[in-house]
């Protein structure tokens, strides 16, 4: 994707999509699996743990090409090595996209913790996908309070995303999914 966004589209994406929310202590950290930015994702999760921002976590992500371990296994092992107690991290090993992350994780959460016992969730994932994480969660679990923390694995400041070809491609790809996904019922508006 080589098209350059207009100044207006850049401004809209910055304001509406490349967002984070204030973070406070939550019942659950929802780590959306990735094969790019694993180190940054783990470091963000460890920082949240050290600061006491979650009581339990779920890591969701299936197999990716070229690896015999799931994204969940890779991320969870690194979180445990960094000090998060293994028993506090729930696992989901099948998801291959954001929708599956949520759909496959909810029964795991129900079984281990009971969704009714979770009042707040911090969504953790890559900046390019940003608000689509809580929008997907909101579609399937509207009652829980959602917060969003993103990581940037691109080596370019977020405000300069449009100047880097790969970062721009990923952001525009994700941004352009929002309306079609809403229309198809995959995601829901989230404040």
Q: Tell me the C-alpha to C-alpha distance, in Å, between residue 10 and each of 7, 154, 168.
A: 5, 17, 10
CA 50 vs CA 47, 56, 57, 126: distances in Å? 5, 13, 13, 20
Give the start-to-end residue ranges of the domains of the chain: 7-183
What mean pLDDT comes out for the span 142-149?
97
Q: What is the pLDDT of residue 64?
A: 85
**pTM (two decimals):** 0.95
Instruction: Provide φ and ψ at 37, rounded to 5°.
Output: 85, 25
Report the CATH superfamily, name and number, of domain 7-183. HUPs (3.40.50.620)
Tell me what percent of the residues of the chain surpass a pLDDT of 70.
Answer: 99
In whole angstroms, what is the distance from residue 128 CA to residue 82 CA? 25
C-alpha closest to that of 108 among 122, 124, 120, 94: 94
Q: Give the number of other Cβ atoms within 10 Å of residue 168's Cβ.
A: 23
Long-range contacts, stretch 104-107, CB < 8 angstroms, 24+ apart: 104/60, 105/30, 105/58, 105/60, 106/140, 106/141
74 pLDDT tier (thresholds 50, 70, 90) = very high
Q: Is the pLDDT of residue 130 over 90?
A: yes
Question: Which two tokens mark 180?
Answer: 């079609």
Report the C-alpha gap between 163 and 157 in whole angstroms: 10
Mean pLDDT (the chain, rounded): 95
Band of residue 65 on the pLDDT scale cut at 50, 70, 90: confident
What are 21-59's pLDDT values in tens digits? 999 999 999 999 999 999 999 999 999 999 999 999 999
Q: Is the pLDDT of residue 16 over 80?
A: yes
- Copy the structure tokens of residue 82: 């960094």
Around Cβ 152, how many Cβ atoms within 10 Å? 16
Greatest Cα pair distance in the chain: 48
What pLDDT band is residue 161 in, cutting at 50, 70 and 90? very high
> What confidence score (pLDDT) does residue 67 get?
86
Which residue's entry shows tokens 């579609």? 139
Question: Which pLDDT score, from 0 to 100, does residue 191 have?
Answer: 80
């Amino acid at each position: 994707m080589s098209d350059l966004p207009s100044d207006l589209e850049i401004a809209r994406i910055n304001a509406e999509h490349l967002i984070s929310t204030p973070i406070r202590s939550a019942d659950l950290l929802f780590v959306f699996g990735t094969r790019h930015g694993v180190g940054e994702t783990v470091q963000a999760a460890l920082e949240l743990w050290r600061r006491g921002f979650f009581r339990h976590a779920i890591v969701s992500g299936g197999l990716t090409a070229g690896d015999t371990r799931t994204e969940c296994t890779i991320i969870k092992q690194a979180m445990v090595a960094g000090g998060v107690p293994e028993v506090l991290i729930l696992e989901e090993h099948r998801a291959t996209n954001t929708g599956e992350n949520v759909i496959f994780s909810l029964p795991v959460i129900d079984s281990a913790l009971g969704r009714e016992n979770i009042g707040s969730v911090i969504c953790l994932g890559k900046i390019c996908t940003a608000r689509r994480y809580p929008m997907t969660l909101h579609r399937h679990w509207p009652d829980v309070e959602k917060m969003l923390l993103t990581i940037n694995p691109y080596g370019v400041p977020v405000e300069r995303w449009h100047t880097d070809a790969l970062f721009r491609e990923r952001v525009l790809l994700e941004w352009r999914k929002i309306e079609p996904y809403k229309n198809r019922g995959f995601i829901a508006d989230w404040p």
